[in-house]
Amino acid sequence: MNTAATTGVPLLPATGAWQPGDPRGRRRWHSLDRPLALEAGGELPGVRLAFETWGRLAPDASNAVLVLHALTGDSHAAGPAGPGHPTAGWWDALIGPGRALDTDRWFVVAPNVLGGCQGSTGPSSYGPDGRRWGGSFPFLTQRDQVAAEAELADALGIGSWALVVGGSMGGMRALEWAVGRPERTRALLLLASPAAASAEQIAWAAVQSHAIRSDPHWRGGDYHDAGPGRGPHAGLGLARRLAHVTYRSEGELRSRFGRSSQNGEEPWRGGRYAVESYLDHHAAKLVRRFDAASYVVLTEAMNAHDIGRSRGGTAAALRRVTATTLVAGVDSDRLYPLPQQAELAAGIPHCDRPRIVESPYGHDGFLIETDQVASLVGELTA
């Protein structure tokens, strides 16, 4: 077995989650004053949400914008990397003075999702009994996550959002805000997101969850205090490799890597393909900053996404939306393809045709094509 002593490389902590005692960065926290009732039954006590804000809330609280992150995102939507924030803001080009979400005008709020691992309550957090939640963390849905975010909004004095925006998993929660709390959502931007998870999307996500659970260091989800090198890093890395293939387009991978080898050594002579090294790189990055159990919890919440559940079906649910809405998809997205955004645009009142983000990058285009996203934001905030 390789150890730090034999390799000279420090072993990774069992989890990449933010931990109490780590640098807090720009995070703030809100603790719910009562247990959170869960859609699947039961309740979750001791909930707290990490969040970040930019700008200043107007006296009448009319300028608040809610920005919701995707699966492996967090509250650090804008700003540089630094203590407490291993990566720069994932939508930094959109948020700040003079940008699409101009913080001289808007008060922007980005929470870390409930069940996440960058400061909000999740499997790596300590429960009321002083022990990690681990494998006993309950099943969550988007409705549970939005219920917690609504309590955060209440605590901040925000009765309604001028705009709610999210892509991918963040778009699922943005849609849940608009359907479940229409009176609190005045404008809505949905990016690369569906009304309900499809069979294929569930299948991709299930394979990723199985990869994590199959890791011998998974320990039923109770690995967080197992010590350096003893977390389910291999399983989480494999899940990330699988996911990343779905996040990018075939055309991009073909043009960028083709059949090229890494460092010029032919794979059939014992070398590796360059695209394999690329996937390894993204796996290693995620393992250092994320928690495997949060990945499972959030992936399963995404699989449960169905805006029409207990609301009379998708069409009836979408008719509840009163917000001025734009729906956009990425033309090369093979994970959440354009017909899903067309369904949303056709079913939501006050929404015209679906907009197309042109990108060679696949699903990740909603994060990469910031100029096009900025234009969409501008339409809703003019």
List active site positions.
168, 333, 363
The SS3 of residue 356 is strand
Concatenating the DSSP letter of every residue in 106-156 gives -EEEEEPPTT-SSSSSSTTSB-TTSSB-GGGPPP--HHHHHHHHHHHHHHH
Cα(86)–Cα(19) distance, rounded to whole angstroms? 13
Q: Select from 21, 20, 91, 99 the least CA-distant residue to 52.
A: 91
Strands across the sheet with 64-68, in order? 28-31, 48-54, 107-111, 64-68, 163-167, 187-191, 324-330, 355-357
- Please tell me the total number of residues recorded for the chain in this structure: 382
Cα(228)–Cα(1) distance, rounded to whole angstroms? 13
Q: To 10 degrees, what angle do helices 233-247 and 292-303 make?
A: 40
Q: Please give the single-letter amino acid code of residue 141.
A: T
Pair type for strands 43-44 and 36-37? antiparallel
The SS3 of residue 338 is helix
339 burial (CB, 10 Å; 0-12 / 13-18 / 19+) is exposed
**First vs last Cα of the chain: how many Å apart?**
59
Cα(6)–Cα(2) distance, rounded to whole angstroms? 6
Q: What is the dihedral of CA 148, 150, 153, 159, to 10 degrees?
A: -170
